[in-house]
Amino acid sequence: MMTEEVPHISSCLEELDEFSISHKEVLKKSNFRKMSEVSGVMANAEIKPKFTHRAKKWSDGVENLYRFQQAGYRDEIEYKQVKQVDMVEYWPETGFVKKLQRRDNTFYYYNKQRECEDKEVHKVKVYVY
């Protein structure tokens, strides 16, 4: 019987190349807009996340990830890959996702206010590329 050693998360973090995005950068509101612009370019390629972890506390980035995951996608990058769209609709006042189309072509419409309650935050997965 052969056993394979699973690397510790800290060693995985060290192996990430210079082009990867840290989870802290993903969750910053200022960087979320930049990620949205970059994800349009990344959507054309088959980009797979390097690793994932669960959100610990609510932020604007976690809110948007919650909305994408509720519609059946990992994040904005996967949504753009699957739906072949360039832009995702956001509420201009808050920057939260406004509308998403599920894989079965049903639309989800979201409010301007926060929808991810504190008790739901731990269910959100944050993907690092």
Structure tokens at 35: 């990620």
Per-residue pLDDT band at 20 (split at 50, 70, 90): very low
Percent of the chain whose predicted confidence (pLDDT) is above 90: 62
**Angle made by CA atoms 77, 100, 69, in degrees to the nearest 5:** 60
The pLDDT score that the predictor gives to residue 25 is: 53
The pLDDT score that the predictor gives to residue 71 is: 96
The 10s digit of each residue's pLDDT in 29-80 is 545 554 555 555 554 567 889 999 999 999 999 999 999 999 999 999 999 9
**C-alpha to C-alpha distances, 16 to 13, 27, 38, 45, nearest whole angstrom:** 5, 18, 18, 19
To the question of pTM greater than 0.85 for the whole model, the response is no
Mean pLDDT along residues 72-100: 95
Per-residue pLDDT band at 125 (split at 50, 70, 90): very high
Read off the amino acid at residue 33.
R
The pLDDT score that the predictor gives to residue 47 is: 83
